[in-house]
Amino acid sequence: MENQWALCHVDSSFEASLLGNQGTEWHWFHSRDDVIEYLLNDYIYLLAEVGELDEEQAENARYRFELLTEQTNQDQLLVEQLNDLTESLRRIVWFGTLSQLAELDDDFANALRGYFWDSYGENEDDPHADVPEELWPEFVDVIDEFLVEGDYQ
């Protein structure tokens, strides 16, 4: 379970504010390479549809995404650069492993852990405390609820 990767992206367009989950999509992957493949083969075309790009514009965008993924080894920097390209369409709010989500000091991860500990009823002293591995199944179980009810914007 610890090696699973996740990607979460939200709709940044005006219409998304009307949706209960802010147009959020959460995806699980077996590896970082699988996440990159999703970004290049699915996410880019979702963006093209939302941004009403023609086929040539979509292919140019895919090429720019591919260059970024090849040239950027740091996941946080890659997310920032991709989000700069997709401003006002969609925004990636999580790109990383489950173990990072359970431990990393990051706005989204901290908000999710705070929601988890509030729901789970423990760690009142540190609402962003790491989630131990034995609680990861419960942690994963609250993600969908968090995406609807949590504050992660």
Closest among 79, 137, 67 to 108, alpha carbons compared: 79
> Residue 24 above 60 pLDDT?
yes
Question: What is the C-alpha to C-alpha distance for residues 40 and 33, in angstroms, rounded to an integer?
Answer: 11
pLDDT attached to residue 107? 92
Question: What is the C-alpha to C-alpha distance for residues 93 and 7, in angstroms, rounded to an integer?
Answer: 8
> Residue 135 above 50 pLDDT?
yes
pLDDT tens digits for range 114-128: 999 988 876 667 888
Phi, psi of 34 (to 5 degrees): -65, -35
User: DSSP labels for 33-102?
Assistant: HHHHHHIIIIIHHHHHHHTT--HHHHHHHHHHHHHHHHH---HHHHHHHHHHHTTTTEEEEEEEEHHHHH
Dig out the tokens for 78 from the structure.
């890659």
Confirm if 50 and 89 have CB atoms less than 8 A apart. yes
**What percent of the chain clears pLDDT 70, i.e. is strictly above it?**
88
Q: Give the residue-averaged pLDDT of 31-37.
A: 95
pLDDT attached to residue 11? 82
Give the model's confidence band at 13: pLDDT under 50 very low, under 70 low, under 90 confident, else very high: low
pLDDT tens digits for range 49-69: 878 888 898 888 889 999 999
pLDDT tens digits for range 73-115: 899 999 999 999 888 788 899 999 999 999 999 999 999 999 9
Average pLDDT score, the chain: 86
